[in-house]
Amino acid sequence: MVLWSQTILELRSHLATYRRQPEYKIGLVPTMGALHQGHLSLIKRAIAENDAVVVSIFVNPLQFSPTEDLINYPRQLEQDLELCRQLGVDLVFAPEPGEMNSSGNTKALNNMTAVIPPQSMTEVLCGKYRPNHFTGVATIITKLLNLIQPDRAYFGQKDAQQLAIIHRLVRDLNIPVAIVACPIVRETSGLALSSRNQYLAPAQKQEAAKIYRSLRQAELAFRQGELKTEILVNLVKQELSQAEGVKIQYVELVDPISLKPIKEIEQTGLLAIAAHVGSTRLIDNIVLQKHQPIIAIDGPAGAGKSTVTRRLAHKLDLLYLDTGAMYRAVTWLAMESGVAIDNERVIADLVENIDLKLTSPNGAELPTVVHVNGQEVTNAIRTPEVTANVSAIAAQSAVREKLVKMQQQWGEQGGLIAEGRDIGTNVFPNAELKVYLTASAAERARRRWQDLQNQGREDINIQQLEQDIQQRDERDSNRAIAPLKKADDAIELITDNLTVDEVINKIVEFYQQL
């Protein structure tokens, strides 16, 4: 049964039991209840990424104006608790309004200390029509973050303005939490899920679905090269002029981080809309992003590719596609399932059905967090035993095909850095920057030995490591499928005498010249 606390005292005592365990990660999903699939996607992600998950349910009076739907806002605590229980949430914090104010007086909530986001972020989009809304949100979110002190907090991209403001809030006030943005969940009609969709009659829902269709129309024009705000915004308005049931409140194109209005898209723009369908106010948005460069890092095992790639991803704000971790994950799964490493048929089945999830870690120094079929295997995939089998697995065509397809899908938007054996030759042959990172076998053995020593493995023989590395190079270069090979247009970097920082700085220079 999910634990449910209504008071701060109870909340604190539950949290104290989690905190007794060092390294325990806590995820927070703040909600106003009336949970739908959108919330559930945040909760599932939080569960996958943390040791304990707290869901808060609080219909926050501070973020409603007197003319809004505070009284009628859907409340369904029993049902929400049951959903949380089914998903495996550890704790639901569902306070009454009085509990959230130090004086314990519901009415006094309006009188509490407020957290006021920068005016430039609240005078646009919804803020124009909901004057104190974001102060109400920022105040309550600050309070929840202080109370729960989660490692990660999860918010939906549907409330893009709220998300940008919360990002700014935790930066400005140095609140030690990672804000995790989660994609919008939609009905098959395209309608973005919202607790307020409950207010819509079936015919109104059909009308409401036109909101997303209009955004997609603008996206299409953008993909075909249209960058001007005026034209993109007008496309949305034109499209919706044919939807009688939809009354636009605003359509704006702004910078997704600062929320400042833009005249045209340089790299990325947030196209956001609010509209009424009947008396229900709905919001939706789409992020229009130009294809950003892809960096492909290839090279033999142990050349420092993964450290360099991870740090570069952090430095250049690119997505890190850790393909090595993907092959390791399949290797781990085969070993865990007791399948012989050369049983290609059974391994093909395993990989076909694998539910593989990679998440960026909180720091540049940490390995990619990996889940296989719901189980966290971040460390389990990095043992010497997995290392010994990974290249045999990576040479199997079914494994290769499936994982390459996944990688290419993730790469469609660009803006990523990936490392492996065939990233520049096979996975992303059109990558804007290709680097072939290499070092002598002796140097790579020395680095690997050092790593293992640092992990407390003192039983490792350095000559043996060097031999293993040479054999692995040999296998990787000569295998039939996706052999290790420098792409013709790759820049070769030999790292024997370079520090990691020097390697990174060189690649940053190449990137800046693109």
The residues binding ligand PAF (CB under 6 A) are 30-32, 60, 63, 137, 140-141, 159, 162
Q: How far is the CB of 326 from ligand PAF (least distance, A)?
A: 33
Q: Which of 39, 133, 276, 371 is catalytic?
A: 39
- Measured distance CA(233)–CA(252) in Å, rounded: 7
Smallest Cα–Cα separation from 115: which of 135, 145, 144? Answer: 135
H or E element, residue 435: strand 433-438
Give the list of residues 6+ apart from residue 26 with CB closer than 8 angstroms, or none: 15, 18, 50, 51, 52, 53, 54, 148, 149, 150, 151, 152
For ligand PAF, the closer of residues 161 and 229 by Cβ is 161
Q: Which two tokens stand for residue 219?
A: 């996206």
- Measured distance CA(412)–CA(245) in Å, rounded: 35
For ligand PAF, the closer of residues 54 and 321 by Cβ is 54
Q: Residue 208: count other Cβ atoms within 10 Å of its Cβ.
A: 28
Q: How far is the CB of 284 from ligand PAF (least distance, A)?
A: 14
DSSP H helices in 50-124: 77-87, 119-122
3-class DSSP assignment, residue 237: helix
As a whole number of angstroms, the longest Cα–Cα distance in the chain is: 76
- Measured distance CA(171)–CA(167) in Å, rounded: 6
Residue 490 carries which DSSP code? Answer: P
Instruction: Answer for the pair 280, 204: CB distance below 8 angstroms, yes or no.
Output: yes
Q: How far is the CB of 78 from ligand PAF (least distance, A)?
A: 19
For ligand PAF, the closer of residues 136 and 299 by Cβ is 136
Instruction: Answer for the pair 60, 137: CB distance below 8 angstroms, yes or no.
Output: yes
- Measured distance CA(301)–CA(430) in Å, rounded: 23
Q: How far is the CB of 166 from ligand PAF (least distance, A)?
A: 8
For ligand PAF, the closer of residues 283 and 381 by Cβ is 283
Q: How far is the CB of 126 from ligand PAF (least distance, A)?
A: 11
User: In terms of DSSP bridges, do strands 491-494 and 433-438 run parallel, antiparallel, or are they unpaired?
Assistant: parallel
For ligand PAF, the closer of residues 94 and 469 by Cβ is 94
User: In terms of DSSP bridges, do strands 246-254 and 268-277 run parallel, antiparallel, or are they unpaired?
Assistant: antiparallel
Sheet holding 414-420, edge to edge: 319-322, 414-420, 292-298, 433-438, 491-494
Q: How far is the CB of 162 from ligand PAF (least distance, A)?
A: 6
For ligand PAF, the closer of residues 162 and 197 by Cβ is 162
Is 276 an active-site residue? no
Q: Which two tokens stand for residue 235?
A: 């496309």
Q: How far is the CB of 32 from ligand PAF (least distance, A)?
A: 4
- Measured distance CA(388)–CA(469) in Å, rounded: 10
Q: Which two tokens stand for residue 423?
A: 């990233």
For ligand PAF, the closer of residues 162 and 389 by Cβ is 162
Instruction: Answer for the pair 2, 84: CB distance below 8 angstroms, yes or no.
Output: yes
For ligand PAF, the closer of residues 143 and 444 by Cβ is 143
For ligand PAF, the closer of residues 21 and 65 by Cβ is 65
For ligand PAF, the closer of residues 38 and 420 by Cβ is 38
B/e letters for 83-104, b = 16+ CB within 10 Å, e = fewer, are bbeebebbbbbbbebebbbeee
Amino acid at position 435, single letter:
V
H or E element, residue 139: helix 133-148
- Measured distance CA(284)–CA(184) in Å, rounded: 9
Smallest Cα–Cα separation from 63: which of 148, 171, 137? Answer: 137
3-class DSSP assignment, residue 152: strand
Q: How far is the CB of 155 from ligand PAF (least distance, A)?
A: 6
Q: How far is the CB of 29 from ligand PAF (least distance, A)?
A: 9
Q: Which residues are catalytic?
A: 39
